[in-house]
Amino acid sequence: SAALHTRTVAIFGSTDPVATGPASDHAMVVRTEIACSPCLKTHCPKQHFQCMEKIRVEDVLTAVYEHLGGRAGAKE
């Protein structure tokens, strides 16, 4: 998406969006601030995976809507 300058909404849980985030000015990151994130693990060592579970569908939809400027299918 970065090469094509496509707007992107990326969802991050256990990974660090600063280190591995989308390399584009056209990207928006959705994540939940919790003490154990980012842990950089593929399996939750605390057995709760709250970094992903606490991200609400509504939060992602709001980010998508805001990032597209309220226009479905909008591209920059």
pLDDT in tens, 11-56: 999 999 999 988 888 899 999 999 999 999 999 999 999 999 999 9
Residue 28 is assigned to a structural domain of this protein: yes
Question: Which pLDDT does position 71 carry in this prediction?
Answer: 56
Closest of 74, 53, 67 to residue 9, by C-alpha: 67
Number of domains in the chain: 1
Residue 26 is assigned to a structural domain of this protein: yes
Residue 41 is assigned to a structural domain of this protein: yes
Task: For the chain, count helices (H), then strands (E).
Answer: 3, 2
- Residue 40 structural domain: 8-67
pLDDT at 9 over 50: yes
What tens digit of pLDDT does each residue of 63-75 get? 999 988 765 554 4
Residue 74 is assigned to a structural domain of this protein: no
Which residues, 6+ apart, have CB-to-CB distance to 48 below 8 Å? Answer: none
Residue 43 is assigned to a structural domain of this protein: yes
Question: Which pLDDT does position 76 carry in this prediction?
Answer: 47
Residue 13 is assigned to a structural domain of this protein: yes
